[in-house]
Amino acid sequence: MQYVNMTKEQLKLELEKYNAEMNALKEKGLKLDLSRGKPSKEQLDLSMPMLNVINSRSVMDSENGVDCRNYGGLDGIPEAKRLLADMLSTRSENVLVSDNSSLSLMFSLVSHGMLEGIMGETPWYEVKNRKFLCPVPGYDRHFAITEHFGFELISVPMNEEGPDMDVVERLVSSDDSIKGIWCVPMYSNPTGIVFSDETVKRFAHLKPKAKDFRIFWDNAYCVHSLYPDDNVKFPDILEECAKAGNADMVYEFCSTSKISFPGDGISALATSVANLIDVKNFMKFSTIGPDKLNQLRHARYFKNLAGIKAHMAKHADIMRPKFEKVLEILARELEGTGIASWTKPRGGYFLSFDTMNGCAAKVVALCKEAGVVFTGAGATHPYGVDPEDKNIRIAPSFATLDEIDTAASLFCLAVKIVSLEKLIAE
């Protein structure tokens, strides 16, 4: 029964029952965390054989004869470039391979735009009222980078096909102080949405007023399907931009952080040859080359895209039951109540959950009181402020199935309590 159709007396009786259940849970002293999308120990264990791929007796030369123990190779070794290019469905000549963090590459590129300017354009620090577009709900660490550099963050609503492209097209074509947009195109953080082909093509055909406008295309979850048989086909944004005459407009990123080891993976930037020349011209001042031994280890272990996909099928076998458990509990406890909605992702690391307006912060706080930590309400919006106070990101990966059962059930209880209090007060 929908709560909005209940009488005040019925609502109060329900609230009394749920408060008693919550008090009993608080007495258990729970300590559970569903706040960040970290791989579990079982997932990390999958990559342990990689550590045996090279040792003191191994040949340490890359396929082009470079000694991976030494300096040099600013853009990475050929076999690592080919591996990550195949993962992104693009070409090796468009790829630069770096160390474990794609976020560091993103930070470096925004920093480059700020201090030196993109391909000879005016440095962004000289641009008054500089702006960056932020699809919401989205990834807090993306937003934090551009907030750190003093950009005004402009929210763009997400729909089932990706960012609202009518809004994006209107904004970028009319304002040359808008310098970029953040995107997670596959299994988006936190909604799990996959951008439609039409959305990808509309991105490629943007006509930005700013010559140095860049799409920051964070393809972090391009091989992270929960259902490997889905075999999602996805356009190559670099190819689409080139066909549209906008070859330089996109920076694409990926990493193996949630494929091998988050602290010891490899990352890649894929972009036009002209952009790569620009990028290497500033990177040469900060490094004499990445960790090529780690690149060699990854290339020899995975060998090719088929090797990555086989490995990710094992990840999916661990992750899928966790997502299905959360969805099962949400459906059982909240479906038909009219007080919440949520996404049902087929891949990635997160679910996006919407409460009634004005309830998210209270739900998260109540869960924390009971010993279960979720990502802070508002984290999925610029400046950490959700104007409607309704969105919560749920990250099931790190917890065990038993922990998820407890945490998700408590979460639903908190949603009911906060929603009932709101309805009774209205």
Please, what is the end-to-end C-alpha distance for the chain in angstroms? 19
Looking up tokens 């679910």 gives 351
Amino acid in the structure at residue 202? R
Q: Which residues pair with 342 in a beta bridge?
A: 353
Q: Could you report the per-residue pLDDT of 320-338, keeping only the tens digit for each?
A: 999 999 999 999 999 999 9
Among the listed residues 36, 88, 81, the one whose alpha carbon sits nearest the alpha carbon of residue 222 = 88
Final residue belonging to a domain, choices 281, 303, 325: 303
Distance CA 224, CA 269 (A): 18
Q: Are residues 195 and 333 in the same domain?
A: no
Q: Are residues 349 and 279 in the same domain?
A: no
The size of the chain, in residues, is 426
- Whether 48 is covered by a domain: the verdict is no
CATH number reported for the structural domain that contains residue 17 in this entry: 3.90.1150.10
Q: Is the pLDDT of residue 230 over 90?
A: no
Residue 210 corresponds to which tokens in the numbers above? 């700013």
Mean pLDDT of 88-112: 96
Angle ∠(263,268,270) on CA atoms, nearest 5: 160
Domain of 415?
3-43+313-425
Percentage above 70 pLDDT, the chain: 100
Distance CA 66, CA 284 (A): 18
Q: Could you report the per-residue pLDDT of 127-185, keeping only the tens digit for each?
A: 999 999 999 999 999 999 999 999 999 999 999 999 999 999 999 999 999 999 999 99
Amino acid in the structure at residue 307? G
Q: Are residues 274 and 327 in the same domain?
A: no
- Whether 49 is covered by a domain: the verdict is no
Q: Are residues 333 and 409 in the same domain?
A: yes
What pLDDT score does 275 carry? 98
Distance CA 109, CA 220 (A): 17
Phi, psi of 202 (to 5 degrees): -70, -35
Q: Are residues 177 and 207 in the same domain?
A: yes
- Whether 52 is covered by a domain: the verdict is no
What is residue 177's DSSP assignment?
Answer: T
Final residue belonging to a domain, choices 253, 275, 303: 303
Residue 199 corresponds to which tokens in the numbers above? 């959305």
- Whether 271 is covered by a domain: the verdict is yes
Q: Which residues pair with 251 in a beta bridge?
A: 216
Question: Quick check: 196 and 161 in contact, CB under 8 A?
Answer: yes
Residue ranges in 116-264 assigned as alpha helix (H): 140-148, 165-174, 197-204, 237-243
Q: Could you report the per-residue pLDDT of 184-205, keeping only the tens digit for each?
A: 999 999 999 999 999 999 999 9
Q: Are residues 171 and 243 in the same domain?
A: yes
Final residue belonging to a domain, choices 303, 329, 348: 303
Q: Are residues 170 and 210 in the same domain?
A: yes
Q: Are residues 262 and 344 in the same domain?
A: no
**For the purposes of burial, counting CB atoms within 10 Å of the CB of 204, is it exposed (0-12), middle (13-18) or buried (19 or more)?**
buried
Question: What would you report as the CA-atom Rg of the chain, rounded to the nearest whole angstrom?
Answer: 23
- Whether 50 is covered by a domain: the verdict is no
The total of structural domains in the chain comes to 2
Question: Quick check: 119 and 275 in contact, CB under 8 A?
Answer: yes
Distance CA 259, CA 207 (A): 35
Q: Could you report the per-residue pLDDT of 16-67, keeping only the tens digit for each?
A: 999 999 999 999 999 998 988 999 999 999 999 999 999 999 999 999 999 9
Q: Are residues 142 and 221 in the same domain?
A: yes
- Whether 55 is covered by a domain: the verdict is no
- Residue 199, CA distances (Å) to 77, 169, 206, 387 in order: 33, 11, 11, 26
Angle subtended by helix axes 78-87 and 292-302, to nearest 10: 60
CATH number reported for the structural domain that contains residue 153 in this entry: 3.40.640.10
- Whether 36 is covered by a domain: the verdict is yes
Distance CA 339, CA 384 (A): 23
Question: Quick check: 165 and 181 in contact, CB under 8 A?
Answer: no
- Whether 54 is covered by a domain: the verdict is no
Q: Could you report the per-residue pLDDT of 334-363, keeping only the tens digit for each?
A: 999 999 999 999 999 999 999 999 999 999
Q: Could you report the per-residue pLDDT of 151-160, keeping only the tens digit for each?
A: 999 999 999 9
Distance CA 4, CA 418 (A): 14
Q: Are residues 130 and 247 in the same domain?
A: yes
Among the listed residues 13, 36, 31, the one whose alpha carbon sits nearest the alpha carbon of residue 410 = 31
Q: Which residues of 127-159 are buried (b: 16+ CB within 10 A; e: fewer)?
A: beebbbbbbbbbbbebbbbbbebebebbbbebe
Q: Are residues 137 and 214 in the same domain?
A: yes
What pLDDT score does 228 carry? 85
Q: Are residues 100 and 183 in the same domain?
A: yes
Phi, psi of 76 (to 5 degrees): 100, 170
